[in-house]
């Protein structure tokens, strides 16, 4: 009998949420996702240390001195992404610096730089997704990038208004965070039953998925940030799910039947009026969980980006 991971792959595209090349190769996913935290975890392992040297050498040879640090960290992300692409047939997501989350112009510039670095490495843009936070500024940057043929993955998505705005901007893919929504509610209601379909993160992704399918939006829904396999089982049938290696192992160890939970709606409905910036900001403000988790997520990614900068800066200094 097939295990639950094999069953899941028959109805959902499985993506590995890791910067560890070995873990990605082990599970044979369609795609892979990374973020500053995962890149940081990867380069702290001895086997990935040489990648830092490669990135530093490239920056020193190809960028003016004042751009060495930014150039090296971008190149490091691209080197790791290129290694990952050797083990997946689809795409890898590479994230724009979280510190640019409220600057549309800077996000656009950084996204284009990453695409160019991949091109120089022989990787076509069809194999990468540029990942950025689902702020209004990030969504507007994605609108422009999608028109340029650069596919985007909008992350740190916690609210329905973020999902609606992304679809209206023509974003290729969104990553609504399941586990972080659960974390917020559990802290406030520690004795509540949040198992299975009672999980507020599961409910959020289900609502977004059904809205997209009923309204005919083509944006891909990729559930992310899982805390347990129950959340994954409750979202079986979602377009994509990005899952950490430990939870992939847990699914592979189970052989019970895995029923499909999400299906595309047969009936279509009229799309609502497009959100204005004012409406988006107000609706996000009214959602305390989404406001807090979005801000927290950006801060934490920025902290890990700064830790990554410290490591790269040390290698730059050693190379002088």
Distances (CA, A) of 216 to 147, 261, 275: 19, 19, 17
Helix (H) and strand (E) counts for the chain? Answer: 14, 8
Q: Output phi, psi for 220, to 5 deg.
A: -80, 135
Give the dihedral sign, CA 294/32/106/168.
negative
Q: Pick the catalytic residue: 75, 110, 131, 213?
A: 131
Q: At what angle do helices 68-85 and 36-43 cross, to 10 degrees?
A: 80
Q: What does the block give as tokens for 127?
A: 């194999």
* Helix, strand, or coil (residue 273): coil
Our answer to whether residue 131 is catalytic in this structure is yes
Smallest CA-to-CA distance from 220 within 293, 290, 157 is with 157
Q: Catalytic positions, please? A: 131
């Amino acid at each position: 009998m097939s295990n639950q991971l094999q069953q899941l792959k028959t109805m959902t595209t499985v993506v590995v949420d890791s910067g560890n090349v070995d873990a990605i190769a082990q599970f044979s996913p369609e795609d892979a996702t990374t973020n500053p935290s995962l890149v940081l975890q990867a380069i702290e392992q001895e086997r990935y240390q040489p990648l830092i040297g490669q990135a530093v050498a490239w920056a020193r040879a190809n960028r003016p001195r004042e751009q060495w640090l930014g150039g090296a960290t971008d190149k490091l992300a691209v080197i790791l992404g290129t290694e990952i692409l050797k083990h997946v047939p689809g795409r890898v997501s590479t994230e724009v610096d979280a510190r640019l989350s409220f600057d549309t112009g800077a996000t656009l510039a950084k996204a284009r730089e990453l695409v160019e670095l991949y091109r120089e490495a022989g990787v076509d843009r069809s194999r990468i997704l540029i990942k950025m936070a689902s702020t209004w500024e990030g969504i507007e940057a994605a609108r422009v990038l999608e028109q340029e043929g650069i596919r985007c993955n909008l992350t740190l998505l916690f609210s329905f208004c973020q999902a609606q705005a992304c679809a209206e901007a023509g974003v290729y893919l969104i990553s609504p965070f399941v586990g972080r929504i659960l974390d917020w509610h559990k802290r406030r209601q520690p004795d509540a039953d949040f198992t299975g379909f009672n999980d507020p993160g599961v409910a959020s992704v289900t609502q977004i998925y059904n809205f997209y399918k009923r309204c005919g939006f083509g944006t891909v829904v990729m559930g992310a940030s899982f805390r347990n396999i129950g959340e994954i089982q409750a979202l079986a049938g979602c377009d994509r799910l990005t899952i950490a290696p430990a939870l992939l192992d847990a699914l592979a160890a189970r052989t019970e039947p895995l029923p499909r939970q999400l299906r595309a709606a047969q009936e279509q409905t009229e799309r609502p009026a497009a959100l204005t910036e004012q409406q988006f900001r107000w609706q996000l403000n009214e959602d305390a969980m989404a406001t807090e988790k979005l801000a927290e997520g950006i801060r934490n990614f920025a902290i890990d980006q700064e830790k990554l900068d410290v490591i790269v800066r040390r290698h730059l200094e050693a190379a002088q």
